Amino acid sequence: MKVYEIKEILNATVICGEEFLDREVFTACGSDMMSDVLAYVKEQAVLLSGLVNPQVVRTAEMMDMQCIVFVRGKNPDDSIINLARDRDIVLLSTDEGMFSACGKLYEKGLRGGASV
Amino acid sequence: MSSLKLNFTVPGDDFTRAGEASGSVKKTLKDLGFNPEIVRKVVIALYEAEINLVIHAGGGEIEVEISPECISMVLTDQGPGIPDVDLAMKEGYSTAPDNVRSLGFGAGMGLPNIKKYTDEMKIDSTVGVGTTMYLKVLTN
């Protein structure tokens, strides 16, 4: 799945990283707990989160993630956006809740893959 | 064999900057051409440890030594110390305040995560004096 497809499926707005929307991604994870992302996630390229703070971008950076989707209509402030921009990470925002957003992406072929 | 040393000072109580040192180490390891899986192990462990310095210790110092055989990290703080290291190592055990949980940490996964991603981990801690954590990731 391409990042722009995620944008379309979730009717999301692009906060930054417009130039990277044709990136191909295969797996995603949804979590508000960054420690869990660090503990269990492997090779996932997309992070869906309702948490909005710089550590979400830092966590994505450490995990080589390509794209963060903020759910529940959350919008990051400029410091978070600049952090993502410096790291070539795409930021999207959708009004969908976490469950619905994950479900819609799964239905269209995006998979999890996190294992304990 | 030559090695490269990096030193960082982690400011306390500034969550926006927590992760700067780990991000910098990640970039250096990538630029040096280390295996991505090794880089991942080092930066996850270091990032968790860096977060701990900010959450629990009011900041501290990080020293990283990079050689072809291994990446060694020493994290030193003058924080409150850990009264029971074995208890602190248990998954789910946390003394982090609520404001830390609202940032996505403080689930009691930090130290177990660090252990999971490193080949050697040693903690020297004295209550009221501080904590030093020694971490090592072997490259093969």
- What tens digit of pLDDT does each residue of A13-36 get? 999 999 999 999 999 999 999 988
Q: What is the pLDDT of residues B86-128, one digit of tens each?
A: 999 999 899 988 888 888 888 888 999 999 999 999 999 999 9
B137 token code pair = 């990731």
- With CB atoms and an 8 Å threshold, state whether A35 touches B16: no
* pLDDT at position A39: 85
Q: Using DSSP, state whether B52 is helix, strand or coil.
A: helix
**What is the rounded CA–CA span in Å between residue A55 and residue A61?**
9
* Main-chain phi, psi angles of B30, to 5 degrees: -65, -45
Residue A20 burial by Cβ neighbours in a 10 Å radius (0-12, 13-18, 19+):
middle
- Spell out the SS3 assignment of chain A: CEHHHHHHHCCCEEEECHHHCCCECCEEEECCCHHHHHHHCCCCCEEEECCCCHHHHHHHHHCCCCEEEECCCCCCCHHHHHHHHHCCCEEEECCCCHHHHHHHHHHCCCECCCCC
Distance from CA of B62 to the nearest CA of A (A): 17
Taking contacts as CB-CB distances below 8 angstroms, the residues of chain B near A51 are 103-104
- Percent of chain B scoring above 70 in pLDDT: 99
A40 at B interface, C-beta within 8 A: no
Q: Using DSSP, state whether B55 is helix, strand or coil.
A: helix
* pLDDT at position B1: 57
The residues, any chain, with a CB within 8 Å of residue B27's CB and separated by 6 or more, are: none
Under CATH, what is the fold of the domain A3-107?
3.40.1390
**What is the rounded CA–CA span in Å between residue B45 and residue B136?**
10
- Say if residue B77's pLDDT is above 80: yes
CA count, 13 A, side-chain hemisphere, B127: 4
Q: What is the pLDDT of residues A41-53, one digit of tens each?
A: 777 799 999 999 9
- Say if residue A114's pLDDT is above 70: no
- Say if residue A96's pLDDT is above 80: yes
**In CATH, what number is assigned to the domain containing residue B27?**
3.30.565.10
**What is the rounded CA–CA span in Å between residue B85 and residue B93?**
11
**What is the rounded CA–CA span in Å between residue A88 and residue A26?**
18
* pLDDT at position A115: 59
**What is the rounded CA–CA span in Å between residue B49 and residue A89?**
23
Q: What ipTM score was computed for the predicted complex, to two decimals?
A: 0.88
Domain residues for the domain of B84 are 4-138
Are B49 and B135 in contact by the 8 Å Cβ rule? The answer is yes
Q: A 42-101 residues with CB below 8 A of B?
A: 49, 51, 53-56, 58-59, 61-64, 79, 87
The structural domain count of chain B equals: 1
Domain residue spans of chain A = 3-107
**What is the rounded CA–CA span in Å between residue A84 and residue B65?**
28
Are A35 and B110 in contact by the 8 Å Cβ rule? The answer is yes
- With CB atoms and an 8 Å threshold, state whether A38 touches B36: no
CA-nearest of A99, A96, A105 to A6 is: A105
- Which of B40, B103, B113 shows the shortest C-beta gap to A53? B103
Taking contacts as CB-CB distances below 8 angstroms, the residues of chain A near B89 are none
Q: What is the pLDDT of residues B32-46, one digit of tens each?
A: 999 999 999 999 999
